[in-house]
A and B are shown apart, each in its own frame.
Chain A
Amino acid sequence: MNIENTQSQMRKGILEFCILSVIRRGEAYPSDIVEEMKAANLNILEGTLYPLLTRLKNAEMLTYRWVESNSGPPRKYFSLTPKGEAFYGELEATWNELANAVHALTQKI
């Protein structure tokens, strides 16, 4: 059993949830998402983020619009679709259940 593997499995499950939660608060630019997650001490590589965003977008959880930037070409800003909203709601519920369960289990002694 590889510790790193287990860790990454654990992270993997919550990455989407976290990203969606950041976007839910308002339109977000990928690098902003990275910054925000970093600030919360949850490091994510941009190389991981972009594919995730694209996948979510293709699953119609996310949508984006081009926003003109003052430097260079327009940027993609992502926001949640109603479907994504519902998806997030379910993830949130699951997370709360999980968190409670884990908390309950780990704090028991």
Chain B
Amino acid sequence: MKKIININFHSRVIPIEETAYEILQQYIDSLRLYFAHEEGRDEIISDIENRFSELFAENLKKGAACITDGDVNAIITSMGRPEEFEGEEAGTTADTGARASAGAGPAPGYTAGASQQSYTNAPEEPRRLYRAANDKVLGGVCAGLANYLRLDPAVVRILFVLISFGWGFGFLLYIILWIVLPTRALVANARKRLYRNSDDRVIAGVASGLAAYFHIDVWIPRLIFALPMILGIFTSIFQNVFFHMFHWGGHIFFDGFGGSLFVVYIVLWIVLPEAITASEKLEMRGEKVDLESIKNTVKSDLETFKGRAKEMGAEMGERMQQMGQQMGQQIRQSAQSFGTEAGAAVRKSNNGIGHAIGVLFKAFFLLIAGLIAFSLIIALTAVAFSTDGLLDLKHYILDGFWQNFLAWSSFALFLVLPVVALLTWLIRRITGMRSRKHYLGYVFATLWVIGLISFIVLVGMVMSNFRVRQHSEEEIALSQPSHGSMVIHAQQPTGRIYDDDWWFEGDWRHHGPFYNISDDSILLTTVQVKLLKSDDSSYHVRILRISRGNSSGSAMDHARQIVFPVSQSDSILLLAGGFPVSKDQKFRNQQVIVAVYIPIGKKIMIDRSVNHYEWFNLNPNNRHFHWEKWDSQWHDDDTWDEGSNMDNSYYWNSNVQYIMTSDGLSRVGEDRPEKTERPEKKERPEKKEREEAPEKSQPDNNGYRYKAPEKPARKTNADTPAAKSTTMLMVRRSSQFILLSTLCNTL
């Protein structure tokens, strides 16, 4: 019982036994090999195939159902096996031509010449420089040179490309040689040739071709090509990620070594032919090209092909095989007819400039796709790494087992896992391991989705912890300063600056709201000093402690836990440097507002030391965490420029004395009304209504104090005024919070 396949063999449809087909294939391959050094190789083989097909057709006409092994063998016997062929094995046109012109030379000379003809395949040709007509990318100059120098054409091509890229005159040289040199079908005379190995490829088979050429494992060249990219990932993580998160990009590809390797790959892709036929595959490995080895190669080719076909299902496989063969046949045929008509043997795999352009296009798209994948890896790694930084703070934010659990699972599954998966995939591609376990991908995907879900849940839970804002208020007992003026100082925080860590840099440390005072607590400096007009004749100081929580009760608890001591010695009011928040206490965006009420006619000065307070407001109610700058309320946003304001603020700040007038604060010694001044943000001289409001209303709680009490609607929801009036997203260098809010936004 034998399987019969249909082949399109020289425009005849031939039903043929599969085994017979293999015999035929092997025979043709052996012919191809035998005539490898023959100028009219393709034509000869085409003629022979044609004859085969004719004889097959005759057999079928006689009533045979299909072509059997016997039929094929019979025809092969009549055709003769290559080793039985007689004639000039290595006969070249040069020989024939020489003989033709020599004509009927003296008989002894002729016989001598004939007896000299050996059975080796080495053509005895005068070495001259030609352009290769049969093995060309552009004009065949390189192949011609290679033939002359007895080198692999690929080597010459690579050199040419490098010279052209490097100095430009290579191209000129090429054009000149193209014009000057005569064309000629040439026989490759290098034993070993560089090919692209199409059987084992990631992109174009360049690396595996190199591996075959040098007899090394395929992962070595792959790693060499991929290493700059992998290294690029890591260097970019360490150098670029945190502070140039949005600037990393393609430059890694084009940076130095990696870039040149990338170019080398593309050049090789263009320059190297693909090893298609059995003899080419043997040449690629530098193995001896003889009948036996070619038979083996063809056999193993067929076997792997069969194996694959079986895997895909016999039916499907067969159809594919047929299709492939038919297509191959047709291509070959058209190439052949073109070849015969043009009178030149054109190698089908090398159609010159079209190939080069095609490769460049492919490379371009691959580059784009590569960049995208690459960006993805870097972005994910960056997020994973900076989240690792956030983990230090997680004790202050996360509450309870579930939140911690979710934090870990989303960190591991949502951020780290994709990086691992991508790297795994990359390494597998490089080492050429083919995964037979397709479920691995599903497992990765499922875990990632779990990570995503837990991340979303976590964000929701954390945000709910910041849902409600509450404050408690307390009046500080004050003894009235004797000179009618008061100076406000703040203690400098003593703890190590929290973010003084390898992953933070630069300005952040000077502006960051976190100071680390011990292992399990941080010092917050979200403190504001507000100056208000007192409605009686004495100074008052009120401390407002604000916190968020998931309920008004817990928010109030958190607020009450804030410890913010204020001490007074006569005219000096000394504020604490900040307030500690412990891991148990949790970070709930606690804030302190120090409201100083200044009676009319009395002076106030705020010391520079107060500047280290850093105010920010996380407001989850807009569905985002906003980093809000409280002060923006008191500055006209149009003209507010942070940099210049900072400069000004120092000037204004350094012990500038203000006096409270009935119109508000004004600088001592100047008549200018307060309005024209640019108050420094920390110092915040009043907006009038704002100040007056609290005094009037001010019983207790039940509302946000500094918002106009005459609008009770606002009081009920403590957060909204802040949210609405001060929606200024701080785009500072504070990467953690940017990151956090970016994450939230993207979700």
Contact = CB atoms under 8 A, between A and B. Distances in A.
A94 B104 contact: yes
Nearest to B97: A59
A27 to B, nearest CB: 16
Interface string B43-80: 11001101101100110010000000000000000111
Contact of B87 (A31, A48, A61, A90): A48
Interface residues of A, number: 36
Contacts of A73: 10-12, 50
A24 interface: no
A26 interface: no
A50 B51 CA distance: 10
Given A30-B47, A71-B61, A91-B104, A48 B39 contact: no
A51 B35 contact: yes
Nearest to B75: A46
A93 B40 CA distance: 29
B57 A59 contact: no
A61 B35 CA distance: 21
B86 A12 contact: yes
A13 interface: yes
Contact of B78 (A12, A13, A45, A53): A45
Contact of B81 (A30, A47, A98): A47
Contact of A72 (B47, B57, B82, B88): B57
Contact of B93 (A58, A87, A98): A58
Interface residues of B, number: 40
A51 B44 CA distance: 6
B81 to A, nearest CB: 7
B100 A48 contact: no
B47 A45 contact: no
B107 interface: yes
A74 to B, nearest CB: 9
A46 B44 CA distance: 11
Contact of A12 (B12, B79, B82, B87): B87
Contacts of A61: 100
A107 to B, nearest CB: 19
A8 B10 contact: no
A56 B78 CA distance: 22
Nearest to B84: A45
Contacts of A46: 48, 51, 78-80
Contacts of B93: 55, 58-59
B115 interface: yes
Given A55-B91, A58-B39, A11 B97 contact: no
Given A52-B87, A72-B11, A45 B44 contact: no
A92 B115 CA distance: 21
A15 interface: yes
Nearest to A9: B114
B303 to A, nearest CB: 27
B166 interface: no
Q: Which 6 A-B residue pairings sit nearest by Cβ, starting from the closest? A: A45-B80, A47-B80, A54-B40, A94-B104, A47-B79, A90-B104
27 contacts: A8-B86, A13-B110, A30-B47, A45-B80, A46-B79, A47-B85, A48-B85, A50-B44, A50-B51, A51-B44, A51-B91, A53-B47, A54-B44, A55-B40, A55-B91, A55-B93, A56-B96, A57-B40, A59-B93, A59-B96, A59-B97, A59-B100, A71-B57, A72-B10, A73-B12, A76-B50, A90-B103
Given A47-B85, A72-B10, A91-B104, 9 more contacts: A12-B114, A15-B86, A46-B51, A47-B79, A47-B82, A50-B51, A54-B40, A76-B47, A93-B104
